[in-house]
Structure 1
Amino acid sequence: MGAGRDDLPPVQHEEMRVKKKIVMAAALAATASMVAPATAVAQDDELDFLLEDAAPRSSSPRPSPTPTPAAEPQAAAQGEQGGAERAQPAPQSTATPQPSQAAEAEPPLDVIPLPREDGPPIETQPAPRGRAIEEIVVTAQRREESLQDVAISMTVFDQEQLSDANITNSADLAIYTPGLTSNARFGNENATFTIRGFTQDLRTTASVATYFAEVVAPRGQSSQSSGDGAGPGTLFDLQNVQVLKGPQGTLFGRNTTGGAILLVPQRPKDEFEGYVEATGGNFEQRQIQAVVNVPLSESLRIRLGVEDKQREGHLNNVTGIGADKLGDVNYTAVRASLLWDLSDNIENYTILQYVDSDSNGYTTRLFACNNLIGTDGISEPSPFALVTAPQCQRQLDAQEASGRNGYYDLASTVRTPITLIEEKRFINTLTWHLSDDVALKNILAYTHLLTKNGSNIFGTYFQDPTDPSREFSAGASVVNPKIPVTNQESYIAEVQLQGSSFSDRMIWQTGLYYETSKPDGPSGNIAASFLYCDLGSLESGDPSTYNCNDPFAGQLGGVLVQEFETEYLNQAVYAQATWDFNDYFNMTAGLRYTWDETEGYGVKRRYAYLLTVQQAPVVTVSTPRTESDAPTGMIEFQYKPFLGTMTYVKYTRGYRQGSVNLAADAGVDTHEPEKVDTYEIGAKTQFGGPVPGRFNISAFYNDFTDMQLQFGYISRAGGPTTSIANAGKAEIKGFEADAFLQPFESLTAILSYSYLDTELLEQDQEAQCDRIRNVGLIEGFTCTPIAAVGDNLPFAPRHSAVGSLIWTLPFPASLGTINIGTTYVYTGDMRVAASSESPFAVLPSFELWNLNLNWSDIFTLPLDLDVYATNITDKQYMTYVGGTYNVIGIESRAMGQPRMIGARLKYRFGAQGG
Structure 2
Amino acid sequence: MKSTHLCAATALSTIMLSAVTTPALAQDSQDSTATVASAPGEIIVTARRSEERLQDVPISITVLDQETLTKRNVVSTADLGNYVPSLSVNQQFGPEKASFVIRGFTQSYHTAPTVGVYFADVIAPRANGPTTSGNGAGVGSMFDLENVQVLKGPQGTLFGRNTTGGAILLVPTKPRDRLEGYVQTSLGKYDLRRVEAVLNVPLSDTFRVRLGVDRNKRDGYITNHSGVGPDHYRDTDYIAARLSVVADLTPDLENYTIFSYSRSNTNGDVPKITVCNEAGAGAFLQGDQTQILAFLGCAQVARQEARGDGYWDVESNFAYPRQRIKQWQVINTTTWQASDTLTVKNIASYAEYQEDAAFHLWGDNFIFPQGFPGAGMLFTNAITLVGGRLGHTTDQSTFTEEFQLQGRTLDGRLNWQAGAYLEISKPLGWNSQLIDIFATCSDIANVVCTNPLGIGQISDDSTKDYFNNKGLYAQATYKLTDQLSFTGGFRYTMDRQRDLAERLSIIEAVPGSGYWVSVCQPTVDPATGDLTNSGVVTDPTVCDVTRKIKSNRPTWTMDLEYRPNNDMMLYAKWSRGYRMGSITSNSIGFETVGPEKVDTYEIGAKTSFRGAMPGYFNVTAFYNDFRDQQLTTNTVVAQEYLNRIPPASPNVNAGKSRMWGIEADASIRPFEGLQLNVAYTYLNTKLQEFTPPPVPVYYSAVYSATDVGGPLPLSPKNRVTVSGNYTLPLDDSIGRISFGATYVHTDKNQATSPEATPVYMIKASDLLNLNASWDSVMNSNFDLSFFMTNVTNEARIVFPSQAYHQIGIDGGHVNEPRMWGVRLKYHFGD
Aligned residue among 276, 292, 296 for 1:387: 292
- Between the aligned partners of 1:724 and 1:162, the Cα distance in structure 2 is 36
- Between the aligned partners of 1:800 and 1:478, the Cα distance in structure 2 is 37
Match of 1:123 in 2: none
Aligned residue among 89, 98, 105 for 1:182: 89
Match of 2:75 in 1: 168
Match of 2:675 in 1: 748
Aligned residue among 270, 276, 279 for 1:372: 279
Partner-residue secondary structure (3-state), 1:514: strand
- Between the aligned partners of 2:628 and 2:807, the Cα distance in structure 1 is 29
* 2:161–2:577 contact (8 Å) kept in structure 1: no
* 2:62–2:151 contact (8 Å) kept in structure 1: yes
- Do the aligned partners of residues 869 and 794 (structure 1) sit closer, same or farther apart at CA in structure 2, a change above 3 Å counting? same
Amino acid paired to 2:499: G
Amino acid paired to 1:835: P
Deviations 1:443-462 (A, max 9, x none): 11001110111111101001
Aligned residue among 201, 210, 217 for 2:108: 201
Q: How do residues 860-879 of structure 1 correspond to structure 2 at under 5 angstroms?
A: 860-879=779-798
Match of 2:815 in 1: 896
- Between the aligned partners of 2:153 and 2:44, the Cα distance in structure 1 is 20
* 2:88–2:100 contact (8 Å) kept in structure 1: yes
- Between the aligned partners of 2:408 and 2:189, the Cα distance in structure 1 is 53
Deviations 1:643-679 (A, max 9, x none): 31100000000000011112211x3100100000000
Match of 1:793 in 2: 712
Q: How do residues 6-25 of structure 1 correspond to structure 2 at under 5 angstroms?
A: none
Match of 1:5 in 2: none
- Between the aligned partners of 1:477 and 1:80, the Cα distance in structure 2 is 52
Asked whether 1:259 is paired with 2:166, we answer: yes
Q: Relative to structure 2, which stretch is displaced further, 613-622 or 518-527?
A: 613-622
Amino acid paired to 2:380: F
Partner-residue secondary structure (3-state), 1:256: coil
Match of 2:5 in 1: none
Deviations 1:165-192 (A, max 9, x none): 1111122111110010010101122110
Match of 2:662 in 1: 735
- Between the aligned partners of 2:290 and 2:549, the Cα distance in structure 1 is 36
Partner-residue secondary structure (3-state), 1:578: strand
Partner-residue secondary structure (3-state), 1:588: strand
- Between the aligned partners of 1:356 and 1:474, the Cα distance in structure 2 is 30
Asked whether 1:725 is paired with 2:652, we answer: yes
- Between the aligned partners of 1:255 and 1:873, the Cα distance in structure 2 is 37
Aligned residue among 769, 774, 784 for 1:855: 774
* 2:154–2:163 contact (8 Å) kept in structure 1: yes
Aligned residue among 510, 524, 534 for 2:418: 510
Match of 2:491 in 1: 592
Q: Relative to structure 2, which stretch is displaced further, 716-725 or 362-371?
A: 716-725
Match of 2:569 in 1: 646
Match of 2:38 in 1: 99
Deviations 1:691-715 (A, max 9, x none): 1101000000000000001123356
* 2:129–2:431 contact (8 Å) kept in structure 1: no
* 2:35–2:64 contact (8 Å) kept in structure 1: no
Cα deviation for residue 614 of structure 1 reads: 2.7
- Between the aligned partners of 1:223 and 1:270, the Cα distance in structure 2 is 45
Match of 1:239 in 2: 146
Match of 1:122 in 2: none
Match of 1:211 in 2: 118
Q: How many residue pairs were aligned? A: 785
- Between the aligned partners of 2:796 and 2:162, the Cα distance in structure 1 is 33
- Between the aligned partners of 1:374 and 1:314, the Cα distance in structure 2 is 31
Match of 1:827 in 2: 746
Match of 1:362 in 2: 269
- Between the aligned partners of 1:392 and 1:147, the Cα distance in structure 2 is 53
Q: How do residues 391-402 of structure 1 correspond to structure 2 at under 5 angstroms?
A: 391-401=296-306
- Between the aligned partners of 2:567 and 2:169, the Cα distance in structure 1 is 26
Match of 1:416 in 2: 320
* 1:476–1:527 contact (8 Å) kept in structure 2: yes
* 1:348–1:431 contact (8 Å) kept in structure 2: yes
* 1:363–1:894 contact (8 Å) kept in structure 2: yes
- Do the aligned partners of residues 818 and 428 (structure 1) sit closer, same or farther apart at CA in structure 2, a change above 3 Å counting? same
* 2:108–2:132 contact (8 Å) kept in structure 1: no
Amino acid paired to 1:804: S
Match of 1:428 in 2: 332
Deviations 1:609-646 (A, max 9, x none): 21252332112333221100010000000001133110
Deviations 1:206-256 (A, max 9, x none): 000100000000111257244331442011000000000000120013432
- Do the aligned partners of residues 385 and 819 (structure 1) sit closer, same or farther apart at CA in structure 2, a change above 3 Å counting? farther
Match of 2:341 in 1: 437
- Between the aligned partners of 1:362 and 1:632, the Cα distance in structure 2 is 38
Match of 1:707 in 2: 629
Amino acid paired to 2:346: N
Aligned residue among 336, 357, 366 for 2:243: 336
Percent identity over the alignment?
39
Q: Relative to structure 2, which stretch is displaced further, 604-613 or 669-678?
A: 604-613
Gaps of 5+ in 2: 1-9, 522-542
- Do the aligned partners of residues 296 and 875 (structure 1) sit closer, same or farther apart at CA in structure 2, a change above 3 Å counting? same
The structure whose Rg is larger is 1
* 2:213–2:242 contact (8 Å) kept in structure 1: yes
- Between the aligned partners of 1:788 and 1:384, the Cα distance in structure 2 is 32
- Between the aligned partners of 1:256 and 1:222, the Cα distance in structure 2 is 20
- Between the aligned partners of 1:436 and 1:32, the Cα distance in structure 2 is 37
What is the TM-score normalised by the length of structure 1? 0.83
Match of 1:548 in 2: 450
Match of 1:66 in 2: none
Asked whether 1:682 is paired with 2:604, we answer: yes
- Do the aligned partners of residues 315 and 374 (structure 1) sit closer, same or farther apart at CA in structure 2, a change above 3 Å counting? closer
* 2:388–2:461 contact (8 Å) kept in structure 1: no
Gaps of 5+ in 1: 1-25, 48-78, 82-88, 101-132, 377-382
Aligned residue among 555, 562, 568 for 2:467: 568
- Between the aligned partners of 1:508 and 1:221, the Cα distance in structure 2 is 35
Asked whether 1:616 is paired with 2:521, we answer: no
Cα deviation for residue 892 of structure 1 reads: 2.2
- Between the aligned partners of 1:659 and 1:260, the Cα distance in structure 2 is 20
Aligned residue among 591, 596, 605 for 1:669: 591
Partner-residue secondary structure (3-state), 1:171: helix
Root-mean-square deviation (Å):
2.4
What is the TM-score normalised by the length of structure 2? 0.91
- Do the aligned partners of residues 652 and 639 (structure 1) sit closer, same or farther apart at CA in structure 2, a change above 3 Å counting? same
- Between the aligned partners of 1:452 and 1:468, the Cα distance in structure 2 is 32
* 2:663–2:682 contact (8 Å) kept in structure 1: yes
Amino acid paired to 1:569: N
* 1:159–1:237 contact (8 Å) kept in structure 2: yes
Amino acid paired to 1:547: C
Aligned residue among 12, 31, 34 for 2:15: 31
Match of 1:840 in 2: 759
Partner-residue secondary structure (3-state), 1:386: helix
Match of 2:482 in 1: 583
- Between the aligned partners of 1:318 and 1:787, the Cα distance in structure 2 is 34
Q: How do residues 772-783 of structure 1 correspond to structure 2 at under 5 angstroms?
A: 773-774=696-697, 776-777=698-699, 782-783=701-702
- Between the aligned partners of 1:398 and 1:806, the Cα distance in structure 2 is 46
Match of 1:146 in 2: 53
Match of 2:524 in 1: none
